[in-house]
Chain A
Amino acid sequence: MTMETWIDITLVILAMSLMICFVRLYIGPNPPNRAVAFDTIAIHAVGIFALIAMRSGAPALLDAAIVTAVLGFVGTMMFARYIEKSNVQDWESDKE
């Protein structure tokens, strides 16, 4: 098997993992669960950027991966500050 086939298999595994993260983003009963799912989705975006750069031989996409990592961190910190200041006491429980 060539290199491109292995990269395609890895992309399929990452796509499955991303769909599982979107399941948590959909059913998450309260905002912190959705923030955790968003953090994981941002990290998955970095990995998918790196794999597409390897697949298409375009190393300029790795710079886009760096920017995506920084933006995901900033977004997660924004969610954390918002949840911390919101002071909600009547969220739904984690039990599904």
Chain B
Amino acid sequence: MTTIELVIVFLILAGAGFMLIGALGIVRFPDVLSRMHAAGMATTVGISAILLGAGFFFLDEFLFYRMLVLILLIFATSPISTTALTRAVYNNEPRLRRQLKHDEMAVTIVEEAAPETANATPVRMPTPSPHAGD
């Protein structure tokens, strides 16, 4: 095997290992926020390594830059989807919200719901629905 093939084998094996670790984290972690943590980071690194290996494999067909664009796409979209899911879970799971030690979203939701009364009394746990406006 040449040097470039060794690099490709190392990249795809490392990527598959990272994705296996991410899948194990999805099954083994206790609640949905830590599962999102495992799914968002380990699989991003794993798929980047696998796509870099594919780009080196198809280096003659000028596909390396296309793989770089795909890695940039995944690096841009994976945090967006994870953030949207986290926001959905936060809005719908009061039990998970009670476990948080530091809750920065509480004041934000109160300001979004009622902006004229947000400065009157600081509310730590908003009881009304965050979808009152829509």
With most chain B CB atoms within 10 A of its CB, the pick from A16, A43, A81 is: A43
Give the chain B neighbours of A84 by CB distance below 8 A: 84, 87-88, 91-92
A17-B35 CB under 8 A given contacts A9-B13, A77-B80: no
State which residues 31-60 of A face B: CB under 8 Å: 32-33, 35-37, 39-40, 43-44, 46-47, 50-51, 53-54, 59
**Number of interface residues, chain B, beta carbon within 8 A:** 57
Contact present for B46 and A47 (CB under 8 Å): yes
Q: Is the interface of A mostly helix, strand, loop or mixed?
A: helix
Give the chain A neighbours of B36 by CB distance below 8 A: 36
C-beta contact mask, B108-134 vs A, less than 8 Å → 1, else 0?
Answer: 000000000000000000000101000
CA–CA, A53 and B81, complex, Å: 27
State which residues 46-60 of B face A: CB under 8 Å: 46-47, 50-51, 53-54, 57-58
Contact present for A62 and B67 (CB under 8 Å): yes
CA–CA, A24 and B118, complex, Å: 40
Contact present for A80 and B32 (CB under 8 Å): no
Query: Which single member of A2, A9, A18, A32 contacts B89 (CB below 8 Å)?
Result: A32
Contact present for B23 and A40 (CB under 8 Å): yes
- A80-B88, A88-B92 known; 9 other A-B pairs, CB under 8 Å? A6-B12, A10-B50, A32-B89, A46-B51, A47-B47, A84-B92, A86-B92, A91-B93, A94-B30
Residues of A within 8 A of B (CB): 2-3, 6-7, 9-10, 13-14, 16-18, 20-21, 23-24, 30, 32-33, 35-37, 39-40, 43-44, 46-47, 50-51, 53-54, 59, 62, 65-66, 69-70, 73, 76-77, 79-81, 83-89, 91, 93-94
